């Protein structure tokens, strides 16, 4: 098993704090990428219906030689399948593509508030959880107002909220909300995805100080904040580099310097309006 620290979700299920994402990895490349990740020590894999690579991801896990219970698998429901019946059908289809009889974590990919179906969708997720076909259920890209509505109208608190989170968009409000309500925070696009984070003078200076890569500095920052993080790469050397972040620590001065990179700029859509 990997030496990656574990995070305990609000229902007692544990997951690795650092996992591997496959966003924008074509299905035919996902098999090799996930195989490389598992060989490098990752034990958490994050996919989604939208990514169209559940088949390749599932085959790589099946062929890895690892026991199914040793790999934490997350997938997500896309916006076109919101609503109870559509969500249940979409979940069955995801299991079929993955070649699995359960997932460890199932997420609503976006609240899509204009559809006004995420409460009904969450009630379907509660059924899936009760049936044991997902060990935990959560959300992605939900804002406090969406989470407040789930709390008022449903019975299961999301185990996790996966959100865009990187040094340019540090999401203090959502991280604080999650900590208060027992909802783990997971970062997508943790390295900023081309918005200059890895070239920033502060990040590169810290990389020199610690004799690490800029990506390792940013991933270490996430871990020390308590975020679950899922970097993505298809390059074996970078896949290995991204999990090699447990042999050093950022000090308080380093963390303060990185906190100063906040600009509020997104690389992805605004959850308040996306997914109509």
> In degrees rounded to 5, what are phi and psi of residue 84?
-55, -60
The tokens describing 144, both together, are 């406090």
Task: Tell me, yes or no, if 42 is annotated catalytic.
Answer: no
CA distance 252 to 135: 36
Alpha helices in the chain (DSSP H): 27-40, 54-62, 84-98, 118-130, 144-153, 172-181, 201-210, 214-225, 236-243, 252-259
DSSP H or E stretch at residue 138 = strand 134-140
Cα–Cα distance measured from residue 246 to residue 258, given in angstroms and rounded to the nearest whole number: 18
Q: Which residue has the tokens 């359960």?
A: 102
The bridge status of strand 14-16 relative to strand 6-8 is: antiparallel
Alpha-carbon span 123 to 43, nearest angstrom: 29
Q: Which of 51, 106, 118, 177 is catalytic?
A: 51
What positions carry a catalytic annotation?
51
């Amino acid at each position: 098993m990997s030496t990656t620290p574990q995070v305990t979700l609000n229902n007692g299920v544990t997951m690795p704090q650092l996992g591997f994402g496959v966003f924008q990895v074509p299905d035919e490349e996902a098999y090799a990428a996930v195989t490389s990740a598992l060989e490098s020590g990752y034990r958490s894999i994050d996919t989604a219906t939208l990514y169209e690579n559940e088949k390749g991801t599932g085959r790589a896990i099946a062929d890895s030689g690892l026991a199914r219970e040793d790999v934490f698998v997350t997938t997500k429901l896309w916006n076109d399948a919101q609503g109870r019946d559509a969500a249940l059908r979409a979940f069955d289809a995801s299991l079929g593509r993955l070649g699995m009889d359960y997932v460890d974590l199932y997420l609503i990919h976006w609240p899509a508030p204009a559809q006004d179906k995420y409460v009904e969708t969450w009630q379907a997720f509660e059924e899936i959880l009760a049936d044991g076909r997902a060990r935990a259920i959560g959300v992605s890209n939900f804002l406090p107002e969406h989470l407040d509505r789930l709390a008022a109208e449903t019975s299961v608190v999301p185990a996790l909220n996966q959100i865009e989170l990187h040094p340019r968009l540090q999401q203090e409000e959502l991280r604080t909300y999650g900590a208060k309500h027992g909802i783990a925070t997971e970062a997508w696009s943790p390295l900023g995805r081309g918005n200059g984070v890895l070239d920033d003078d502060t990040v590169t200076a810290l990389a020199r100080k610690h004799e690490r890569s800029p990506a390792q500095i940013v991933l270490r920052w996430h871990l020390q904040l308590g975020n679950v993080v899922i970097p993505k790469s298809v390059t074996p050397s970078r896949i290995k580099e991204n999990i090699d972040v447990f042999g050093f620590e950022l000090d308080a001065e380093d963390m303060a310097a990185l906190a100063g990179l906040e600009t509020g700029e997104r690389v992805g859509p605004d959850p308040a309006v996306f997914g109509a």
